[in-house]
A and B are shown apart, each in its own frame.
Chain A
């Protein structure tokens, strides 16, 4: 349940370290974003000497939330932090590596490149 003003960790090596959600892409006046949704973020903290800089507005896809993700077989997955992967306009990740566990639902949402880079697909 990510909403504007939510801080998110970054799960790739694109150069940003912390992001803040500004807007949820999709329907207008959408309240919360979940895993697999694209959001507009601003970079609050960045690693120096990388293409991404602080206070840059970019897009990201949410890969981990503290709010549970329900599956059809009755199982529930809940992570310990909120994290996102920085993407470009088409949906390709900007970084080359992805850290942490990625849920399987991203594959159905056409983020196959992120899923293939993931060290562990939950």
Chain B
């Protein structure tokens, strides 16, 4: 009894959250066919077969599993706990083994955010295996070899103090301050940019801040800090 009540509440909650986006799941597809057909309909055929994709498909499997059940058949969606009257609607193999009592399903935007995090981490790992990127913290004196595609030469050995670092996954950036021809110049580079051929840490200074913007007012020998 309680499981039916809980399941109806669950069903209503799922209906509210997914009514707009997953309207097509209430069609007559059986849950067992959440396979390449469904993933293609969701437009995921070009998705890389990564952890993120399997996470999404499995989470949507859980949704479709519960929402495609018809409420008249009281025992169908609780068939994980009970055995049904012989209806073979639920045939997915993973329902038999690990059976949680409640289907935990995050809001779609939370799921999407989580997937973006996974995708971002994978991209960062991919770049890290290609190039060696040392750790850069504010206060380090760093020498970069920056490739400029306009000149087609590897010009620009950039050497300066790191004054800021912003962590944003693949878009992590850091700022370097240096003196060029008597003028102070700050440059910001993406940490995983392919234009940064080489990053070398020359020196480390002790600072007590994460962002060293106070160096803009101090003019005396910025590199000596």
Contacts and interface: CB of A to CB of B under 8 A. Distances in A.
A82 B186 CA distance: 14
Nearest to B146: A75
Contacts of B195: 73, 75
A77 B186 contact: yes
Contacts of A27: none
A67 B115 CA distance: 36
B49 interface: no
Given A99-B182, A101-B181, A122-B180, A77 B150 contact: no
B177 to A, nearest CB: 9
A90 interface: no
A7 B122 CA distance: 48
Given A73-B149, A73-B195, A80-B216, A100 B183 contact: yes
A75 B185 contact: no
Interface SS of chain B: strand
Interface string A78-122: 111101000000000000000111001000000000000001101
B67 to A, nearest CB: 43
B189 interface: yes
Contact of A80 (B148, B183, B193): B183
Interface string B168-190: 00000100000011111111111
B185 A80 contact: yes
Contact of B183 (A76, A81, A104): A81
Contact of A101 (B185, B188, B189): B185
A79 B189 CA distance: 15
Interface residues of B, number: 18
B183 A79 contact: yes
A110 to B, nearest CB: 15
A34 interface: no
Contact of A73 (B181, B183, B184, B193): B193
B181 A76 contact: no
A6 B224 CA distance: 32
Nearest to A103: B185
Contacts of B189: 74-75
Nearest to B182: A100
Nearest to A120: B181
Given A80-B216, A104-B150, A75 B190 contact: yes
Contacts of B148: 104
Contact of B187 (A64, A76, A100, A120): A76
25 contacts: A64-B183, A68-B188, A73-B193, A74-B189, A74-B190, A75-B187, A75-B188, A77-B185, A77-B188, A80-B184, A80-B186, A80-B216, A81-B183, A83-B183, A99-B181, A100-B180, A100-B182, A101-B180, A101-B181, A104-B148, A104-B150, A120-B180, A120-B181, A122-B180, A122-B185
Interface of A: 64, 68, 73-81, 83, 99-101, 104, 119-120, 122
Interface of B: 148-150, 173, 180-190, 193, 195, 216
A-B pairs, top 6 by smallest CB distance, nearest first, are A80-B184, A76-B188, A101-B180, A78-B186, A100-B183, A120-B181
